[in-house]
Chain A
């Protein structure tokens, strides 16, 4: 299948790239801009924060996001459903779009989601017309509740945000994909290209990452590696991997050998 035909959609928008990238933690805006372009991403996450009123005319992040990329505002660092709802509304007002990456965080050390608050906030935002993409635990039961709440996708974590630990529970990710009909995106935990490829090989619709690219020694090169890994993992998933076997299965004929 030509890659241009292998699309997915969210909130009525069709996407070709299956890599979503964040805009945090870059050493400077020019590096971020080059990395975003190299990633080939079509959706980029942004955070909503108080404007620093002491810095007049500070550079705007938006000027450094390549044209044509669609913004996905998040509710990062919100610890209650109410905070997340207010932040989502402000993000919509800023971005003029309905998409929101919904985060309701339950624990400062691990940044694991508060799934109860997440479901609550999802219900409210869906009613208000948002296209809700919740960042959630790798828990199939919660994923189902989020789908039932009307979320447009579910985004289970591979590992804690920024940890780079990779896909810690691939079996749960697979069970989530069996459990829900909405697209499953793996969000958070990716450390290197093979993690992104694995997420796609499991059948994820897309992968979202930030730190793995932004904090790599060479962010632009890593962005390119991630683009390739997501593409390779997706192709491997579509191609269908061979089953694992305990013993060898020879690739060359075992007959016709000389000296027999």
Chain B
């Protein structure tokens, strides 16, 4: 299925969870925060939160800033 991931349409496994998506992308969960359809998904819900087709996912991290 397709989801919008950080602004770009990407193919991901059907029904993948947030935890599964991070593994799929090779991203360390402790370093990022995830938002699905404009709501934060807290780390304790990564395993349960399954993505649906067309979901908008943002994966963010801290960068330098003032």
Is the pairing of A and B real?
yes
Binding site for B on A (CB under 8 A): 22-26, 32, 45-51, 53, 56-57, 60-62, 71, 73-74, 76, 86, 89-91, 93-95, 161-162, 188, 208-211
For B62, list chain A residues within 8 Å (CB): 46-48, 60-62, 71, 73, 91, 94-95
For B43, list chain A residues within 8 Å (CB): 93
Q: DSSP majority for the A interface? A: mixed
Offer 14 A-B interface pairs, CB within 8 angstroms, sorted by A.
A47-B64, A48-B33, A50-B60, A51-B27, A51-B60, A53-B25, A61-B61, A71-B62, A93-B42, A161-B66, A162-B66, A188-B66, A209-B66, A210-B65
> Complex: how many Å from CA A128 to CA B40?
13
> Complex: how many Å from CA A49 to CA B38?
14
Q: Given A51-B6, A53-B6, are A90 and B58 also a contact pair (CB < 8 Å)?
A: yes
For B59, list chain A residues within 8 Å (CB): 50-51, 53
For B33, list chain A residues within 8 Å (CB): 48, 90-91, 93-94
Asked if B38 contacts A86 (CB within 8 A), the reply is yes
Q: How far is the CB of A193 from chain B (nearest CB, A)?
A: 18
* B32: contacting residue among A51, A56, A211, CB under 8 A: A51
Q: Given A90-B33, A93-B33, are A47 and B58 also a contact pair (CB < 8 Å)?
A: no
Q: How far is the CB of A204 from chain B (nearest CB, A)?
A: 17
Contacts A46-B63, A53-B59, A161-B66 given; 6 further ones with Cβ under 8 A?
A26-B64, A32-B64, A49-B63, A50-B7, A50-B59, A51-B6
> Complex: how many Å from CA A94 to CA B61?
7
- Count B interface residues, CB 8 Å: 24
Q: Given A51-B59, A53-B5, A94-B33, are A25 and B64 also a contact pair (CB < 8 Å)?
A: yes
Q: How far is the CB of B64 from chain A (nearest CB, A)?
A: 4
Asked if B65 contacts A94 (CB within 8 A), the reply is no
Chain A to chain B: the 6 pairs with minimum beta-carbon distance, closest first: A47-B65, A210-B66, A22-B66, A93-B33, A23-B64, A24-B64
For A53, list chain B residues within 8 Å (CB): 5-6, 25, 27, 59
Asked if B64 contacts A76 (CB within 8 A), the reply is no
> Complex: how many Å from CA A73 to CA B38?
18
* A76: contacting residue among B25, B34, B65, CB under 8 A: B65
Q: How far is the CB of B62 from chain A (nearest CB, A)?
A: 4
For A93, list chain B residues within 8 Å (CB): 33-34, 40, 42-43
Q: How far is the CB of A13 from chain B (nearest CB, A)?
A: 19
For B64, list chain A residues within 8 Å (CB): 22-26, 32, 46-47, 61
For A94, list chain B residues within 8 Å (CB): 32-33, 60-62
